[in-house]
Amino acid sequence: MNKISYVFPGQGSQYVGMGSLLYDKFDSVRRFYNEVNDLLKFDLRKVCHEGPAEELNKDIIAQIAVYVNNHIHLMLLKENGYAPVMATGYSLGFYSALVAGSAIDFATGLAIVKEAAKLMEDEIGNKKGGMTAIIGLLVDDVKAICNEARKEDDVWISNINAARQIIVSGMESGLRAVERFAQENGALHIIPLNVGLPFHTPLMKRAGERFYEYLRTVDIKDSETPVVSYMNGQIIKGKDEIRRLLSEQLYHPVMWKDTIQMMINNGVDTFIEVGPERALYRMIQWIDRKVKVMATEDILMQPN
């Protein structure tokens, strides 16, 4: 029998039209959107399904949209009898993994997402930051490039997705320097990402500390299903450790390659990406082509 892990995507997986096929097919999705719209006091369904892209891609809207759509996919998988042996999430997707593990409920996770976004936006203010994907260079090469680029502005490696798929995060001038140096060093692709903040860098440390104080007021339980931290690839279950990791993940790199490899080493042979798009689907295939990877909509949109 397959050992299934859920993997939840983060910001960047949003796109105009996300979830519309599921909305058309399932009554439960239509009811859930109505509940979420009442909770948010704005029409998230319209933004997700109709755009415009400029509105959907705003950091806070994108984060809420991905979190909500992740939950819709999770809800439908539960209705269809799927049960994972463990779960993890990529960046923002970690909140969804905690919901899957019953450490928090959906509404609590939504409040946490909104608070984290506010604290990070407050920390950066009017300064311009962002993230850029570097494809085709090794980690040590990108690390050296960041060290050189920091002479112009703050920039660090923030996500290690696969051996030659690295994301850097920082302030605008530093990112432009990284892009120049990466091109000079033979990167295959250099892709500025559609985010406006330097996530997973030391620039967010104070936001993380403030976030921890907020999390002390939040009802978090021990996880029932093992949840894997993308920071260190370790299984976490205790509520105190969850609080600590939630705060630290704002400024800690996403060690995705190591996380997925640890799960494979622990017997996981099937990954289901529980959310919109197929970003994690492709990343996992880069890491290990022997494991089975599925997207939720491949399961849910099959003919009855």
Positions annotated as catalytic residues are 91, 200
Task: Show the tokens assigned to 94.
Answer: 């970690």
- Look-up of token digits 């994907």: 133
Gap between the Cα atoms of 304 and 301, Å rounded = 8
Distance from the Cα of residue 231 to its chain's centroid: 12
Beta bridge partners of 170: 130, 155
Task: Show the tokens assigned to 190.
Answer: 């250099």
